[in-house]
Amino acid sequence: MMTATGEFAIASLSRTGIQPYSPAARRVARPKEAPRRETLTEEPRAVAFELDFANGERLKVKLVGSGHEPTSFWHALDRIEHLSRLPSGWDSYGARPLSARAVRRSFELFSSLLDDRTPEPNVIPTREGGLQFEWHRQGIDLEVTCESSGTVSYYYADSKSGEEREGVNGATRQAVQEILRRLSQPA
């Protein structure tokens, strides 16, 4: 079994007006089969858990944040936990299981993608073992893909202006943040 360990800072997610994370309440609400997350006693703003992937990989995760993360952050975590259990061929057309590397890259991007001011993304598995974060609102399409190779790419299209562009790796974070700022504005 391959095991990777990652610590991902999410402190920049902190905003006012967000309900604090309640570990006790969350544990009660979680399904029995879901991996258990623990708030570390020595670091109350960190959450540690392990993801066991259907392909045999294991990822030890420590997320360090403010304790005031937006709801979208916890929804994305729930989705990733669910998707990590998808078996080979989950799409009926031979798709690969989700890879730990794609999830690592996703966590590295969380502070850019998940903000209480931005709309919640759809978190979608790709057939190559990657993860795709999608927004389709107000005439804007934004898809950010973390591939199993570790490559991160984005696709953006604006139906009003006709603008369409794509980017890979280094070009992604800044471009995506700029697009998300636009998506965050009222329609």
Partner 1 sequence: MPPDDKGITDDTELWRRIPPDQMTDDDQVPSGWRPSTGNFDKYEMSVVIAAESVGGLDGLLSGWEGFGVASFTAGEVRQLEFGVVRDPDPKLPGHALVVGNKSHGKRTRLARLCRLIRVPRPIPGQSAGDG
Q: Which is nearer to partner 1, 98 or 100 (CB)?
A: 98
- The CA–CA distances, whole Å, from 154 to 13, 126, 163 equal 21, 14, 14
**x/- track of binding to partner 1 for residues 19-38 (CB under 8 A):** --------------------
135-154: contacts with partner 1 (CB under 8 A): 136-139, 141, 143
Contacts with partner 1 by CB under 8 A: the residue count is 28
Bridge-partner residues for 165, per DSSP?
A: 156
**x/- track of binding to partner 1 for residues 117-136 (CB under 8 A):** -----x-xxxx----x-x-x
Q: Which is nearer to partner 1, 62 or 79 (CB)?
A: 79
**Is there binding between residue 69 and partner 1 (CB under 8 A)?**
no
Interface pick for partner 1 out of 86, 109, 113, 176 (rule CB under 8 A): 86
CB-based contact 100:135 (threshold 8 Å): no
**Is there binding between residue 78 and partner 1 (CB under 8 A)?**
yes
**Token pair of 69 as six digits:** 């993360």
User: Closest separation between CB of residue 79 and partner 1, Å?
Assistant: 7
CB-based contact 133:102 (threshold 8 Å): no
User: Closest separation between CB of residue 142 and partner 1, Å?
Assistant: 11
CB-based contact 90:120 (threshold 8 Å): no
Instruction: Indicate the residue type of 111.
Output: S
CA pair distance 186, 145, nearest whole angstrom: 25
CA pair distance 160, 123, nearest whole angstrom: 25
CB atoms within 10 A of CB 15: 13
**Is there binding between residue 83 and partner 1 (CB under 8 A)?**
yes
155-174: contacts with partner 1 (CB under 8 A): 155, 157, 159, 164, 166
First to last CA, the chain: 48
Site residues, partner 1 (CB under 8 A): 75, 78-79, 82-83, 86, 90-93, 122, 124-127, 132, 134, 136-139, 141, 143, 155, 157, 159, 164, 166
